[in-house]
């Protein structure tokens, strides 16, 4: 089971192209800082504006650079089922440990449609699948009942829950009627990462971990070790930073924060634009407050 802090990795760009050198160095830094696993090619990695060739290349770079030191959960989501299947197959061939597959956005499928979508990826990809439930971006919300049905499939192993509904782990377990002991609940909301753990979660796929990997990993580890004083201290220290990471469209703030640490340029791809001066000051102040900058 996956547990701990998994950064939803930014994809560094330089002059409009993927900056492979910066990305490889960023991966090494993340692992050195204690990150528990890596998630390339999610929304934070600007997957909507990566070409298919770039998407596959970024996945390959991440797996190659990680060198099995930590698990890699490769983003393989699409609102086209066949495209999601193809990306998942590629991730398997590249050596990913699992894939993260978002609920189909824009199409607005029914619960039956979502079940069929994930079952197709499950049946054809041949590696563990984590459901990414994020109603705020995809518009559709997978119910605990649908998730419980999918969890009966051997390779549907968990969920990245970005609903901010802290009852979801319990409701989903209840829908599983006593099953799902090995089903992995990962938060997709940094601000509720600790309450999500208290609700039965196992970790977080994190935006903030792009700029504060050690703090995020230490917070998760403190929870697992039942060092609640340390866990709550780190949560309080990180909360303003969590907020700043979403002061404008993600991953703009995270990329600017990473640029302050010398990890990459703040460059994003249209329709995203570099964050405003006011947002930059907010990110900088939050990083100073968290002890990441002088």
Residues near 53 by beta carbon (within 8 Å), at least 6 away in sequence: none
- Domains of the chain in start order, with CATH, are 4-227 (3.20.20.70)
Instruction: Kindly state the DSSP code that residue 210 receives in the 8-state scheme.
Output: G
Does the annotation mark 132 as catalytic?
Answer: yes
**Catalytic residue, candidates 132, 255, 263, 280:** 132
**Catalytic residue, candidates 3, 105, 115, 160:** 160
DSSP string, 244-291: HTTSSSTTHHHHHHHHHTTSS-----TTS-PPPHHHHHHHHHHHHHTT
Residue by residue, pLDDT tens for the chain (294 residues) are: 899 999 999 999 999 999 999 999 999 999 999 999 999 999 999 999 999 999 999 999 999 999 999 999 999 999 999 999 999 999 999 999 999 999 999 999 999 999 999 999 999 999 999 999 999 999 999 999 999 999 999 999 999 999 999 999 999 999 999 777 899 999 999 999 999 999 999 999 999 999 999 999 999 999 999 999 999 999 999 999 999 999 999 999 999 999 999 999 999 999 999 999 999 999 999 999 999 998
Q: CA–CA separation, 287 vs 42, rounded Å?
A: 23
Distance (Å) of CA 71 to CA 31, 98, 130, 139, 235: 10, 8, 13, 29, 24
Does the annotation mark 263 as catalytic?
Answer: no
* pTM flag (> 0.95): yes
What does the longest C-alpha to C-alpha distance in the chain come to? Answer: 52
């Amino acid at each position: 089971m996956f547990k701990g802090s998994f950064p939803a990795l930014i994809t560094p760009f330089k002059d409009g192209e993927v900056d492979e050198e910066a990305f490889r160095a960023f991966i090494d830094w993340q692992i050195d800082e204690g990150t528990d696993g890596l998630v390339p090619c999610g929304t934070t990695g600007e997957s909507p504006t990566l070409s298919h060739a770039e998407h596959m290349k970024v996945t390959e770079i991440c797996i190659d650079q990680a060198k099995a030191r930590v698990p890699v959960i490769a983003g393989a989501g699409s609102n086209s089922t066949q495209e999601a299947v193809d990306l998942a197959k590629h991730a398997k061939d590249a050596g990913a440990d699992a894939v993260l597959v978002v609920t189909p956005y824009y199409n607005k499928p029914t619960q039956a449609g979502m079940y069929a979508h994930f079952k197709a990826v499950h049946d054809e990809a041949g590696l563990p699948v984590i459901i990414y439930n994020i109603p705020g971006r995809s518009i559709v919300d997978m119910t605990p009942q649908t998730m419980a049905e999918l969890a009966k499939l051997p390779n549907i192993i968990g969920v990245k829950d970005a609903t901010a509904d802290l009852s979801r782990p319990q409701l989903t377990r209840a829908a599983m009627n006593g099953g799902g002991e090995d089903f992995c609940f990962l938060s997709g909301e940094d601000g509720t990462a600790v309450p999500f753990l208290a609700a039965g979660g196992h970790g977080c796929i994190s935006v903030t971990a792009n700029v504060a990997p050690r703090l995020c990993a230490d917070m998760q580890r403190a929870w697992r070790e039942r060092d609640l004083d340390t866990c709550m201290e780190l949560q309080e220290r990180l909360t303003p930073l969590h907020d700043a990471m979403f002061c404008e469209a993600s991953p703009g703030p995270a990329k600017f924060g990473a640029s302050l640490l010398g990890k990459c340029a703040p460059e994003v791809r249209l329709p995203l634009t570099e964050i405003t001066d006011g947002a930059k000051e907010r990110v900088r102040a939050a990083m100073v407050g968290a002890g990441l900058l002088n």
